[in-house]
Amino acid sequence: MGKQGVLLINVGTPDDCSVDSVKDYLREFLLDPDVIDIPAPLRHLLVRGIILRTRPKKIAPRYSEIWMEEGSPLRVYTQRMADALKENLGDVECQVGMRYGNPSIRHALEKLKGSGVEDLLIAPLFPQHAQATTGTSMKESMNQLRLLDWRPNIFEMEHFEEDPAFINPLAESIMPHISEDSHLLFSYHGLPLSHIRRCDKTGSHCLKVDSCCSFKVPENSMCYAHHCNLTTRAVVGYLGLNDSNFSISYQSRLGPAKWLEPSTVSKVEELAKDGKKDLVVVSPAFLADGLETLEELELEVREHFMAHGGESMVVVKCLNDDPHWIEGLGKIVRKSFEIPVLEN
């Protein structure tokens, strides 16, 4: 093997918390057809004509509440993850590229190319596969490689929703917060139902069969909701919880389309009304803390839970640069370099 390099990809973030910066970021993010998969004229009408007129002004103050001295939390924590991974791997170059915003995938690839990398691992930091995360990240990476006219040996880090290297540190990060009286809520990033249907090429299983996510078949092998279920079951098994001690929900909805149910907001309201007073929330789709965890869960969802009778809510931090997770990520990366090279 030649010199190895890892492109670690996260979703992205604005450059700063100004309205203009948030608007630029949302424009790039929401106009991606892999994110909002409706006909282009309708997508542009929805994004430019409705969302970008109001949402940046609403979201910019929320970013201001969580902004760190070093910058965007998502960027800071992802970079810390990359630095720790490089230390773990030794003589392997590690660069961060955001699918939207900066540092861009193009920028990261240029640095990897400049450092003499011959074997390139494209590593989307999304445990559960989805078109709107892993899919678009791989597509953009391959596109930028073509534009750079760079042809290294390419490897892909595949989804790792139930890999012990991910599950064990995740479960151990939750364990200190669990008690006899607590209820564990797995809050995954939401996804439109159209994305779920598309991953089943046969059109005969996903959202067609009762409890379609609860068992493995070839038809749901790339299904995000199924992967979320696998992550949940693996963590619950590690923690020794029974079915009454945990729930699943989906957060961060956008637009008029039908999304995976239940929403996190509606679920915490239901749990509070059912008498659950002590709630522990974990968001396993996010490996680095950002707006969805530090603001949406910590502030918005907490306020909603308390307003409906809840008494205590703990949001488990993302794995970020946790040493046990970095060790696990190192194992996943090493294993990924053993998988056959992708066509470039």
Regarding whether 271 and 125 lie in a shared domain, the answer is no
Is the Cβ–Cβ distance between 73 and 279 less than 8 Å? no
Is the Cβ–Cβ distance between 262 and 201 less than 8 Å? no
Regarding whether 245 and 226 lie in a shared domain, the answer is yes
Regarding whether 248 and 180 lie in a shared domain, the answer is yes
Regarding whether 172 and 277 lie in a shared domain, the answer is yes
7: which strand partners?
95, 122
**Mean pLDDT of successive 10-residue segments in the chain (344 residues)?**
93 97 96 92 93 95 95 98 97 97 98 97 98 97 97 96 98 96 97 90 85 87 95 98 97 84 97 97 98 95 96 98 98 90 63
Phi/psi-derived region of residue 179, left when phi > 0, alpha when psi is between -120 and 50, beta in every other case = beta
Number of domains in the chain: 2
- Whose structure tokens read 């008498």? 275
Is residue 97 helix, strand or coil?
strand
Domain with 73, as residue range(s), is 4-160+323-336
Q: Quote the pLDDT of residue 2.
A: 85
Tell whether 103 is covered by a domain: yes
Tell whether 343 is covered by a domain: no
Query: What is the C-alpha to C-alpha distance for residues 342 and 38, in angstroms, rounded to an integer?
Result: 29
Tell whether 344 is covered by a domain: no
Tell whether 78 is covered by a domain: yes
Q: Quote the pLDDT of residue 342.
A: 66
Query: What does the chain come to in residues?
Result: 344
Find the Cα–Cα–Cα–Cα dihedral 100, 318, 66, 188, rounded to 10°.
70
Regarding whether 145 and 8 lie in a shared domain, the answer is yes
Regarding whether 327 and 210 lie in a shared domain, the answer is no
Regarding whether 282 and 184 lie in a shared domain, the answer is yes
Regarding whether 62 and 168 lie in a shared domain, the answer is no
Tell whether 246 is covered by a domain: yes
Tell whether 342 is covered by a domain: no
Beta strands per DSSP E along the chain: 4-13, 92-101, 119-124, 153-156, 182-189, 246-251, 278-282, 312-315
Global pTM reads 0.95
Query: What is the C-alpha to C-alpha distance for residues 263 and 185, in angstroms, rounded to an integer?
Result: 12
Regarding whether 327 and 272 lie in a shared domain, the answer is no
Two tokens at 150? Answer: 């760079």
Please report the DSSP string for 292-328 in residue order. IIIIIIIIIIHHHHHHTT--EEEEPPP-TT-HHHHHH
Give the helix/strand (H/E) hosting 54. Answer: helix 52-66
Tell whether 179 is covered by a domain: yes
CATH number for the domain that contains residue 304: 3.40.50.1400
Regarding whether 192 and 149 lie in a shared domain, the answer is no
Tell whether 203 is covered by a domain: yes
- Whose structure tokens read 């997770």? 325
Regarding whether 180 and 156 lie in a shared domain, the answer is no
Query: What is the C-alpha to C-alpha distance for residues 161 and 199, in angstroms, rounded to an integer?
Result: 16
